[in-house]
Structure 1
Amino acid sequence: MELSVNGTSYSLDVEEDMPLLWALRDELGITGPKYGCGIAQCGACTVHIDGQAVRSCQMPVGDIGNAEITTIEGLGTPEAMHAVQQAWVDHQVAQCGYCQSGQIMQAAAFLETHPEPSDEDIDRAMSSNLCRCGTYPRIRAAVKTAAAKLQGA
């Protein structure tokens, strides 16, 4: 089976029903997506598949086909962070950090389709990503900052 992850093609010998999360972490060593709940409820495992935010713990690799997978490792680099990543740093969002790659991936996909979100839009879009540290006000502020930066403000 072939997977395209962060612009690189990989050939994997795995069962088609293996969750993408485990293919990424255990087979490819891509550890940005985290195991949180295993039932697609917490968002720690969020990745992009063709730009859409997807819970990788419940996505069988056999269902991906030729789609492009992007993980937090492929969103930006330390030298050229994605606007959402930079906003997370600027607003000091992370505390324990465990959920943050999923939060960032959810926010980046959301801003692609909602470039000028209201607070309510942000809260609704981010509500399915859980943060045990409760950094939700900083998450909202970071999403607003990233939206403005992506709009050129």
Structure 2
Amino acid sequence: MTRITINDTEHEIEADEGMPLLWAIRDILGMTGTKYGCGIGMCGACTVLVDGVPTRSCSLPVEAVEGQSITTIEAIEEDAVGRRVVEAWVTNQVPQCGYCQSGQVMAATALLKDNAAPSDADIADAMSNLCRCGTYNAIAAAVRDAAQS
């Protein structure tokens, strides 16, 4: 048994050794907002916050997060910064296909919690998730708006 805390709720799960956190979140706990993209931690669609740090959940074994606090997109609006990010995403009409957006929102929230007034360079460095639709300008605008609100 592995004990993990997701969105302030402790879960005791039975998972195969080495199972990626993403599959525990999606398949065992039924929270499907975190997406599978590439499976090797490159694209960022699977980004969650582990103790506030944006982390690729597709390549992180579930046993590695015991004792840490995980936040998924399902709970991001419970955080004031996360709520501002989501509002800015809607205002700026960021999503096109929307597939990468949960990971993008998680990365933006982590950035703004760490740096309330990021420069354009800070935004470019922190927002390393891939967007196949190319909404990078809208993403940057939404991060700037969320920082100002």
Query: Residue 54 of structure 2 aligns to a residue in which SS?
Result: strand
Q: Which residue of 2 aligns with 1:145?
A: 145
CA distance in 1, matches of 2:19, 2:69: 17
Q: Which residue of 1 aligns with 2:59?
A: 58
Aligned CA-pair RMSD? 1.3
TM-score by length of 2: 0.94
5+ unaligned residues in a row in structure 2: which ranges? none
Query: Residue 82 of structure 1 aligns to a residue in which SS?
Result: helix
**Count of matched residue positions in the alignment of Structure 1 and Structure 2:** 146
5+ unaligned residues in a row in structure 1: which ranges? none
How far residue 16 of structure 1 moved from its aligned partner, in angstroms, is 3.1
How far residue 3 of structure 1 moved from its aligned partner, in angstroms, is 1.0
Q: Which residue of 2 aligns with 1:22?
A: 23
Q: Which residue of 2 aligns with 1:5?
A: 6
CA distance in 1, matches of 2:115, 2:77: 20
- 4+ runs deviating over 4 angstroms: none
Query: Residue 34 of structure 2 aligns to a residue in which SS?
Result: coil
1:89 aligned to 2:76?
no
1:61-140 residue pairs with structure 2 within 5 A? 61-76=62-77, 82-126=83-127, 128-140=128-140
Query: Residue 87 of structure 2 aligns to a residue in which SS?
Result: helix
CA distance in 1, matches of 2:17, 2:68: 15
